[in-house]
Each structure stands twice: as structure tokens, then as C-alpha cells.
Amino acid sequence: MTPQVDILVVGAGAVGATAALALRGAGYSVQVLDAGQPAPPAESADIDARVFALSPASIAWLETLRLWDVLAHRTQDYGGMRVWDAVSGSDIAFDAAALGLPRLGAIVENRAIVAAAQAALGDVEFGRSLVALDESVDAVCLHCADGDSLTARYVLLADGARSPGRAALGIQAPGRDYGGRAVVCHVQTASGHDQTAWQRFLPEGPVALLPLWDGRVSVVWSSTHAGADALLAMDDQAFSEALTDATAGQLGRLDTPTARHAFPLLRQTAERFTTGRCILLGDAAHVVHPLAGQGVNLGFDDARALLEAMPDPTRGLKPLARRRYERARRAEIARMSLGIDALDRLFSTAHPALAAARGLGLHAVDVLDPLKRQFAEAALGIR
């Protein structure tokens, strides 16, 4: 096979589109396909229900791609984070200034990132879905549902948690189903958000309040399937009362919720992130529980690490560099995924002994500055 381009990127979401931009900037010829339609401009609608808590590293990544200035007016920096346990009452608070940082991160809409990245690319081929992949020694042939076939030196698969590309390669993605869903929406607060991210651990799952640029907060409420069904079925007044109670009235009464949506809670990691000439990125490679808000940050880390592994188009991704990339990313994903999983298991029980132990643990982390810094750097994706 004779490659038509250096790289075919399948999936023009936040991770795929930014990876394509970065690789073009490095000198690769890049073609981008997406099975869906273009993201509407963020300004054309209310704040997207899906928001990301971006780490400082992810913000720097978007700055490098010259996207951050485009997004800045629809982002909200946060300098504080407070996490507390509903059962033990213990809490821990993080402050950017204490960590020597201008901010802990920023809350950004998925749609805003995607729309900006797709506009910067300018030539994404929408409505084109992958059905099969054939790899040879020096190229990959991608077969589309419309009957067309495309060839490239490499294929990047950033086509989501149910990745058709991963399935076409026969790669399994085992993991854990947490047996629940996260309900998301935006709400008004009685007392403002103080540029702080709030999270309370309940026995059924954590509820988070993330500050938005228009003064509201974004809600991510994880619960059992039955609990999520109940939250979705409530009228707005009942939901507002339940949410205010679940967050112990920390921001006063929470009301005027937007339309509520839910997504499944699961953890999965692909058995391989690479083949000879195909690379999985983002949710196609790994999905983690949203309680730490690290999903898209890990995807951006994938893209950044891949660019470091293949900086020169004349050399591409050599086998040794590919193996190093695979090992490094798998180790990082395992660390984060299993750490989040352990937190979920620890906080999803009301057993008195475990509640008392985790309460002591939270207090110890909060008062011991070196331990607190390490915890913050890991939990917030600062390093």
C-alpha cells in the first residue's frame, strides 16, 4: 500500500482534534474523519452540559495549540477545591496560592474546545465512519462505511469509549462497571461559587459542584441506577431540594436546574494502546470514573506523549519509541485508574469503622503540608 497521508485521525472530539492540530504543526500531513457532525459554535447555545476540569498541563497544551485565547471568555478558573465526607464529616481543602500556582485548573465546556479545534483544522471530513482496518508493514488501509478506502502511514483512533476502530482491531477493553450513572446539569446558587470546586462524598457516590463562567455551577452527581432514575424523574423543585440537601447547603439553595442528562459510570482500559501502525487515544484507550475529573486530561496527556514520541515526520513512530510510549501511558493510566477506583471503594461505604478511618486519613492529609501537596499533585493532575 502507498500511503496517501502521514496520519489519519479517526474522531474529531477534544482529544482527536487537538492531536491532529499538534501533529500538523510538527509537519505531518494529517487527514481527520468523524462519524458525526461539526460541533456548533459555543456562543450559539447555553453552556454545554458536558464540562471538563482541565489541569494546568491541559491548559498549557491548549495554549501551545493557540486555542486557549479562543476559549478564555467561556472558561472559569478555580483557585480552591474542597472535598468532604458526608459520613465522617472530615474534609480537605486545596488552595492554589498555597501550592504556588496561579490556579488549580479551569472548568471548560466540551463543545467550546471541540468547536475551536475543529475550526482551526478547517477540513474535518464529517459523516464518515470506519468499518475495517488493514495493516501492512509500511501502511494502514482504512475502510469507510461509504465504500471509500484511505491509506496512511499511521492511524490514530480517538473515536470514543465504544471505539469502532478498537473493535476493528480486535482489541478488548476490560474494566469495571460501577453499577450506576452520573447525572449532570447546571444550577443557580444562592451564594455564588467563590471560584472553588466542591465535592461531597455520599455513600451512593460523590456529588460535585464545578464553577462556571456565568456564575452558575455544573453538577456531576454519581449514584446507583435507581438513584439516577429517581433524580432524572424529579421535577425541578424536588431536584433542587435534593441537591441542596446532598451538598449540605454549602452554596445555599441550588435551583433553576437545566435539562438533566446521565451517563454510565465505568472503568475500562484497552488491552493494547498500539499495534504496528495504529494508536488509541483518549476514551478509545481508557475510561476512568469521573470523581477526579481526569478523563480528558489523560487524553491530552496521551496526545502530548505521542507528539514527544514522534516529533520528526521523516522518522515517524519508530518501534522502540512506540513501545516506550505504550509502557509509559499504560503505567500512568493504571496509576490514575486504580487510584480513583480505590477512592470510590473507600468512600462508597457507610461502615462506621471505615468511615472513621477515612475521616482520620482526610484530616492527616489536610494538616500535613508535604503529604497534602503530594495528594494535590496526584488528585488534581498538577504533575
Amino acid at 167: A
As a residue count, the chain comes to: 383
Q: Which domains does the chain have, with CATH numbers?
A: 5-66+111-174+266-343 (3.50.50.60)
Model pLDDT for residues 254-273, shown as the tens digit of each residue = 999 999 999 999 999 999 99
Tell me the pairing of strands 196-202 and 205-211: antiparallel
**Share above pLDDT 90 across residues of the chain, in percent, rounded to a whole number:** 71
What is the DSSP code string of 321-374? HHHHHHHHHHHHHHHHHHHHHHHHHHHS---HHHHHHHHHHHHHHHH-HHHHHH
Q: How far is it, in rounded angstroms, from Cα 315 to Cα 146?
A: 32
pLDDT of residue 361: 56
Which pairs count as long-range contacts for 167-172, CB under 8 Å and 24+ apart, including other chains?
168/130, 168/131, 168/132, 168/133, 169/133, 169/275, 169/278, 171/270, 171/271, 171/272, 171/275, 171/280, 172/270, 172/271
Report, as an integer, the average pLDDT of 331-354. 71
Model pLDDT for residues 140-153, shown as the tens digit of each residue = 999 999 999 999 99
- Residue 143: which residues within 8 A CB-CB, separation 6 or more? 130, 131, 132, 133, 134, 149
Higher-confidence residue: 154 or 377? 154
Helix (H) or strand (E) holding 96: none
The pLDDT of residue 332 is above 80: yes
In order of 84, 110, 350, 358, the CA distances from 363 in angstroms are 10, 34, 18, 8
Higher-confidence residue: 372 or 167? 167
In order of 41, 148, 361, the CA distances from 14 in angstroms are 14, 25, 36
- Residue 289: which residues within 8 A CB-CB, separation 6 or more? 178, 222, 265, 266, 267, 340, 341, 344
Q: How far is it, in rounded angstroms, from Cα 182 to Cα 201?
A: 13
